[in-house]
Amino acid sequence: MFNKTDPSYFDGEWNFEKTEHAVLGLCKILDRYAHKLTLEELQNDPRCSRIPNLSLDVVQQVIRDTEAKLLRGVKPFVNEVIYHTGPHHDDIMLGIMPFINRQLRSPSNQVHFAIMTSGFHSVTDEFLKGALEDTLAYLRQDRIQMVHYPDFFEQGYRYKQEKDVYHYLDNVARKNQDEMRRGFCHRILRDAVGLWQLKSVEEVINRFETEIKNIQNNETNSPEIQKLKGEIREFEEELVWAYTGTALSHIHHLRLGLYNDGGSALRQAQGPTQGPWVPDRERDVMPILNQLRELRPSVITVAIDSAGLGPNTHYKVMQSIAEAVRLWGKETNLMDLKIFGYRNVWSTFHPAEANVYVPVSLNAIAVFEKAFKDSYLTQVKAEFPNPDFDGPFSELAESIWVKQLKDIQLILGKNYFYENAHPLIRATHGLIFLKQMTAEGFVGFAEEMKNNM
């Protein structure tokens, strides 16, 4: 992939993306709106001067193309089967929640969420210890009454996960922190009973006390504790999308084994220094492919961070999805499939690189901020924070959206937004950048990224 900060990006064959890049760059250098640029300023700029057939018409073409990208982001989704994918829990939300919330408003859309890894690394031992202690306290106060149901420890623990979510969010509305916590502890208890096959309250108490001591002694997490941590993250993801009524049957926790080794069987056979990482077909690709076959989405979203930008799992998940799409394309006509690449707090698109700009209103920011704070309890203070930002990931995402709007205002003008006839554009105070691709284009994009590593 081109490094957009490298001057050599502008060498070689010219394309319109380079023109957009150069014109916006000049606007930022001069701190001037595009329509106020002069031909002399374009000719004197080392990048703009390379634009073929340079004239002020080029600037107008950039303005028109920028507006077209924005209008694509305003267009509503109807009668679509939408498959949102995220490498970890919270990646989808941090990247594109305002984009998704408008899709969820139309009952004609079927919206699914697939989280590819368990995310247990993001749950600290201290957080888990507090959750276990609180659950014990509620049990001893007899405030978790489901344990008294005759079949709870046999099969009852498997049911009513939706009730846990609803109980929690009902008390978000009531601003009752104690009942929110009790709803969370209901889910912890259900997961623990299934995980260790506990058969009584006494067994629960003994197990929790043992695990609390293990944490206090700094013992390495067992596979069971890792799974329990992952299930905490899964509950958080369910809370976020339940804000807009998403059923748990539309939230898929794939738990791919990408944390388990350094690569696929083929990658291991190649040796540690031979070639790019390759997804394992059975472990990494087939679960995604089977879900594509089942759901038959017409829209897919994918995090498309380059290798080395953000957690490496993002790159591995993208390559696994690309391989699944490639294989699906051998058995299904994917001509109409739309794939939207997104980025979030780990890396961003240059405006010229994206081809869809999604408006973000203050209303959307308020919903996003509250949902993140109320749902992602483990991430309010992130275990793996971004090195360039000290604060909640939600605030970092918002700051990116605001900055991206500022860049586009240089091209379109601020008045374009506040004088616009479309209420969504008038309400815009941030922008999400997306890269829309065909199935073939996405597979090619992933292959190019792999070849340029």
Residue 380 has pLDDT above 80, yes or no: no
Band (pLDDT 50/70/90 cuts) for residue 387 is low
Residue 273 has pLDDT above 60, yes or no: no
User: Average of pLDDT values for 177-183?
Assistant: 96
Residue-level pLDDT at 276: 74
Band (pLDDT 50/70/90 cuts) for residue 10 is confident
Band (pLDDT 50/70/90 cuts) for residue 390 is low
Please tell me the least confidently modeled range out of 132-141, 301-310, 314-323, 382-391: 382-391
Residue-level pLDDT at 27: 98
Residue 388 has pLDDT above 70, yes or no: no
Name 206's Cβ contacts closer than 8 Å, sequence gap at least 6: none
Residue 431 has pLDDT above 50, yes or no: yes
Residue 384 has pLDDT above 60, yes or no: no
Name 423's Cβ contacts closer than 8 Å, sequence gap at least 6: none
The more confidently predicted of residues 434 and 118 is: 434
Residue 261 has pLDDT above 60, yes or no: no
Q: Where are the alpha helices (DSSP H) in 105-200?
A: 125-140, 161-173, 177-196
The more confidently predicted of residues 306 and 319 is: 319
CA 249 vs CA 242, 245, 253, 295: distances in Å? 11, 11, 10, 12
Band (pLDDT 50/70/90 cuts) for residue 308 is low
CA 408 vs CA 67, 249, 395, 401, 412: distances in Å? 9, 38, 20, 11, 6
Band (pLDDT 50/70/90 cuts) for residue 9 is confident
- What the chain holds in terms of domains, given with CATH numbers, is 7-70 (no CATH), 78-117+254-451 (3.40.50.10320), 125-227 (no CATH)
Residue-level pLDDT at 449: 87
Residue-level pLDDT at 266: 38
Residue 192 has pLDDT above 80, yes or no: yes
Residue-level pLDDT at 148: 94
Band (pLDDT 50/70/90 cuts) for residue 8 is low
**Which amino acid, residue 339?**
I
Residue-level pLDDT at 318: 95
- Residue 304 in contact with residue 435, Cβ under 8 Å? yes
User: Average of pLDDT values for 4-25?
Assistant: 84
User: Average of pLDDT values for 282-297?
Assistant: 97
What percentage of residues in the chain have a pLDDT greater than 90?
83
Write the DSSP string, 61-96.
HHHHHHHHHHHHHHSPP-S-EEEEEESSTTHHHHHH
Residue-level pLDDT at 451: 82
Q: Judging by beta carbons within 10 Å of its beta carbon (0-12, 13-18, 19+), is residue 137 exposed, middle or buried?
A: middle
Is the torsion defined by CA of 438, 444, 450, 453 positive or negative?
negative
Residue 33 has pLDDT above 70, yes or no: yes
Q: Strand 428-437 vs strand 299-303: parallel, antiparallel, or unpaired? A: unpaired
Average pLDDT, the chain: 91
Please tell me the least confidently modeled range out of 172-176, 186-190, 384-388, 423-427: 384-388
* CA–CA gap between residue 152 and residue 199 (Å, rounded): 9
The more confidently predicted of residues 119 and 50 is: 50
Q: 28-48 burial, b for 16+ CB within 10 Å, e for fewer?
A: eeeeebbeebeeeebeebebb
Taking only the tens place, the pLDDT of each residue in 40-71 is: 999 999 999 999 999 999 999 999 999 999 99
Band (pLDDT 50/70/90 cuts) for residue 105 is very high
Q: Among 81, 87, 80, which residue's Cα sits nearest to residue 294?
A: 81
Residue-level pLDDT at 194: 96
Residue 315 has pLDDT above 60, yes or no: yes
**Which amino acid, residue 273?**
T
Residue-level pLDDT at 393: 87
Residue-level pLDDT at 310: 63
Residue 34 has pLDDT above 80, yes or no: yes
Tokens of 233: 């993250």
3-class secondary structure, 130: helix
Residue 267 has pLDDT above 80, yes or no: no
User: Average of pLDDT values for 281-301?
Assistant: 97
Tokens of 320: 């696994």
